[in-house]
């Protein structure tokens, strides 16, 4: 088999293998996300966002309370 004929065979086979792998990977991500790195990253990202939202809510509550304490004596008509 010549090199030219070999290229006609190996290039489509390589593309087919790559396409089959990506279809299989997509199937694994959609059906069993815990078994893939992409799925684990998505799950961990959800946990991280929810924890950050919880922390930010607490920080905003504390900041709001502190702002009220700082503003209180300055805006109180009794002083």
Q: How far apart are the first and last CA of the chain?
A: 98
> In this predicted model, what pLDDT tens digit does every residue of 14-66 receive, in sequence order?
999 999 999 999 999 899 988 889 889 989 988 887 877 777 666 666 665 55
Q: What is the predicted pLDDT for the residue at 78?
A: 52
Cβ–Cβ < 8 Å for 42, 33: yes
At 33 the pLDDT is: 86
Hunting for tokens 């920080």 — which residue is that? 59
For residues 34 and 42, what is the distance between their CA atoms, to the nearest angstrom? 9
Domain spans of the chain, in order of start = 1-31, 37-79
């Amino acid at each position: 088999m010549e090199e030219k004929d070999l290229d006609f065979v190996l290039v489509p086979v390589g593309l087919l293998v790559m396409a089959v792998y990506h279809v299989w990977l997509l199937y694994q991500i959609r059906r069993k996300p815990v078994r893939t790195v992409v799925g684990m990253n998505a799950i961990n990202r959800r946990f991280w966002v929810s924890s950050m939202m919880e922390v930010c809510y607490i920080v905003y509550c504390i900041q709001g309370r502190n702002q009220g304490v700082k503003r209180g004596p300055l805006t109180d008509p009794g002083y």
